[in-house]
Structures are given as structure tokens and as C-alpha cells.
Amino acid sequence: MANLKGFKGLRYNDEKISKISDVIAPPYDVINKKQQEELLNQSQHNVVHIDFNDGIGDEKYLNAGKIFKEWLNENILLQEDKEAIYPYLQEFTYKSKSYTRLGFIALVEVSEFSKKVVLPHEQTFSGPKEDRYKLMKACKANLSPIFGVYDNSDEIVDNILRNFIDQNSPVIKGESKDGVTNTVWKIDDEKKINQIIESFKPKEILIADGHHRYETSLNYYKDFPDDKNKYTMFYLAGSNQEGLLINPTHRILQNVKQPNLLIDQIKKDFDCENYKEEINEDFLNPDEFFVISKEANIILKCKIKEENRDKFYSMSVYGVQEFIIDKFKDNYNGLDFFKSFNDANDSILENSLGLILPKFVPPDIMKVVLNDDKMPQKSTYFYPKVATGVLFNKLS
């Protein structure tokens, strides 16, 4: 049973911050060093000064806690008077097509994955969890919402959100660095909040983005068992909407020894054909992928063999991981990940092997998590990301 609740959101003070676009940022784990510097210089109140500053070692957590406290004392951030749930609409363009994605921000009760209420689909690592834990402890707040996906086929929440945003003005609107327009409303009507809460009780929530932050919130509650810490901030989006894009993360093996040897074995492990047309990963089925080798002057379109379909959940990312990345780990000395085909293609050198993967659909991912399994590291890339700095949630 998914337990939700509204909260007194902490947000930037309109009288102090005239342009929200200057202070919001992408999630910390997709910001590179150059982008970090740009955001730090963009505004002294940009959220990266807290969420991802350039302090050395534990200094960055001390700095984050100090700055966060200063912003509270100086009323840069103000807390709402009433508990609310926040409809959140994102408008964006991807590959020349316009999309919208509707969700909302609320608090979700943390629970162990074994309870199958909040479901993970990717592995987590100790380093990022330690980093986020120290930051949470320094600020005593959720600084960015975890991105969750739920089955909205009943349209109950959708209808509540759409009716509300059609009749009310937003409280926050800003464009993030990736060109996404982020618009947020505030529902503080108890009746509407309770309707949303009740509709969620039979639902499961799939973590799309923020696995490390979720496990951090769970660990924080175990260490500091307080009612406020029992919940963590989520952005929740329905799975049945065109604007929920689940893009792949392409892989490039660098400094490959004997690429022809790898290609010969790939042809044995998968059903392959030489490919002569222009590559478009959007036309790949979930069980297909491309192999690109400039040294061998070949492009292969590959497909999981019939006998491996159940084992790999009919998703090529599993086959690529087991039969290429893991199997030939001694035959290359670099593995790079890319969010777009163009960036990946530009990084395929003479001694590289490019692995171009298809996009995903929520039902395929749900098959994995309901089987108590995980997807390989950096499999999915839910787009667009949820902006950090739109709302904060104070803990105790």
C-alpha cells in the first residue's frame, strides 16, 4: 500500500528571487564539471550551491548546511502555511516533437523494497548513497524529488490534476538548462488531497530516477526515526502518457583489442545482419541493438536469440551486458555511457565498439522489478529530468 501525504513545501521567495530559471538546476548526477561552474556563477542562490557545490571532501556538506540555513534565515526560502500537493507540468521538445508530461510532487512513506510498494529497477552503489546521506544530514531536508512512475490507467489523479490546473494559476514557472518549461501549482484543498491519497493506496511506485536518494531516505529514517523522516519527497508521473520518455543509455567499449574477434562472437551469440541504412535507434525493437566498428568497417543490427528471450526479459540491454560487456571485459579498457546517439557516434574511434540500444516501455521494466530483479547499471534514461530547486521538504 502506497502511503502519500501533502506537505508544507519550502520554496524560493518570489519577492527575493525574480526569475526561478536562474536558481533551478538538473539533478546533481547529470551535471558535468562545466555545467556545475555555469550554474554556480548563474546566481548566488542557485540550488547547486547546496545540492552540488564545489567544496573539497566533507567541506561541501558543511558549506551546503551553512548556506541552506542562511537562505532560511534571510527568507530566500519560505515554507507554506498549509500542507499541499503540487501538480507539476513539464513542456519540452525532443527530436523536433513537442511533448507535455504531467505529474505531481507529494511525500511518500519510505518502505523496504521487499514490501513491493516502492520498486527499484537499477543497482545502487555505496559512494553516491554516502554522499547524499551526508548532504541530507547537513541540511535536514529533501533537496530534490525522487522521480516515481505509477499506473494511471484509472485516470483518477489525472482528472483531479487537469481540472485543477485548468482553473488555477501556477505558483512556480521556470525554464531549466535543458530547455524544459517547469510549471507548478498548489493544491491545498483537503478533499482533493485525500482523493489523491486514497487513489494511491493500491498502487505500486516504480523509481524512475533517484534510487540512491530513496535508499538514503530509508537509511536516514532508520537512524533518525521521526514522523517527518518517515516520508520523502517524490515527483509522481503516470506511465500512460506520451510525454514519459524512457530513452536508452548507449555504451561504447574503448581501446578494444581485436575487434574482429568480438564481432565474430557477437554474430554467434545474437541473430545479426549487416546494416547499410542510416542508423535511427527509435526504430529498434526492445530486443534489438546496433553494433558499430570503424576498424572493421561494419554496422550490425542484432537481435536476442529466441532461446535467450525469457532470460533477458526480451530486452537487448541484458544481452549486451552479459554477452559483450562482461564476456569481453579483458578485451577493452574503457566503457563510456552516452545519452544520445549523436554523442555516442562522435565518440566511436577506430579502436572502439559502439553499442546502440533501443528505448524502453514501462511494462517491460515492471516485469523485471516484479521478478525481484534489477536492470544493468545505467540502463534507462527517463527524459526529461525533474528540476532540482522547485520545491524542498524540511525534515526533523
Convert the pLDDT of each residue in 12-28 to its tens digit.
999 999 999 999 999 99
Nearest-CA neighbor of 309 among 300, 301, 318, 299? 318
Mean pLDDT of the chain: 95
Report the alpha-carbon distance of residue 316 to residue 380 in Å, rounded: 12
Judged against a pLDDT cut of 90, whether residue 190 lies above it is answered with yes
- Can the peptide bond before residue 384 be classed as cis, meaning omega within 30 degrees of 0? yes
DSSP letters of 372-396? T--BPTT-EEEESPPPBTS-BEE--
Query: Is 95 in a helix, a strand, or coil?
Result: coil
Judged against a pLDDT cut of 90, whether residue 124 lies above it is answered with no
Give φ, ψ of 231 to 5 degrees. -120, 150
pLDDT tens per residue, range 23-52? 999 999 888 889 999 999 999 999 999 999
Confidence of residue 322 (pLDDT cuts 50, 70, 90): very high
**Residues 189-201, mean pLDDT to the nearest whole number:** 97
Beta strands in 165-260 (DSSP E): 172-175, 181-184, 205-209, 231-238, 245-248, 250-254
Judged against a pLDDT cut of 90, whether residue 378 lies above it is answered with no
Element (H, E) at 222: helix 211-223
364 or 284: which leads in pLDDT: 284
| The three three-digit cell numbers of residue 310, written as one number | 525469457
**Residues 108-126, mean pLDDT to the nearest whole number:** 92
Judged against a pLDDT cut of 90, whether residue 363 lies above it is answered with no
Confidence of residue 228 (pLDDT cuts 50, 70, 90): very high
Query: Is 68 in a helix, a strand, or coil?
Result: helix
Amino acid type, 114: S
Confidence of residue 392 (pLDDT cuts 50, 70, 90): very high
Helices (H), strands (E): how many in the chain? 11, 21
Helix residue spans in 58-140 (DSSP H): 59-73, 126-139
Q: Name which of 13-17, 97-101, 188-192, 279-283 the model is least confident about.
A: 279-283
Confidence of residue 229 (pLDDT cuts 50, 70, 90): very high
pLDDT value of position 122: 84
Query: Is 275 in a helix, a strand, or coil?
Result: coil
Amino acid type, 320: V
Highest mean pLDDT among 40-54, 120-134, 376-390: 40-54
Judged against a pLDDT cut of 90, whether residue 217 lies above it is answered with yes
**What domains can be seen in the chain, in order of their start residue?**
4-245+382-394 (3.90.1530.10), 250-356 (no CATH)
Confidence of residue 1 (pLDDT cuts 50, 70, 90): confident
pLDDT tens per residue, range 230-256? 999 999 999 999 999 999 999 999 999
pLDDT value of position 304: 97
What is the share, in percent, of the chain residues with pLDDT greater than 70? 100
pLDDT tens per residue, range 67-116? 999 999 999 999 999 999 999 999 999 989 999 999 999 999 999 999 99
Report the alpha-carbon distance of residue 206 to residue 146 in Å, rounded: 10
Report the alpha-carbon distance of residue 205 to residue 103 in Å, rounded: 13
Q: Name which of 2-16, 32-46, 216-230, 356-370 the model is least confident about.
A: 356-370
Confidence of residue 312 (pLDDT cuts 50, 70, 90): very high
Model pTM score: 0.90
Long-range contacts at 276-284 (CB < 8 A, ≥ 24 apart): 279/341, 279/345, 279/356, 281/248, 281/250, 281/341, 281/356, 281/357, 281/358, 281/359, 282/95, 282/359, 284/316, 284/356, 284/357, 284/358, 284/359
Give φ, ψ of 369 to 5 degrees. -70, -35
Q: Which residues is 355 bridged to in the sheet?
A: 251, 291
**Residues 312-333, mean pLDDT to the nearest whole number:** 96
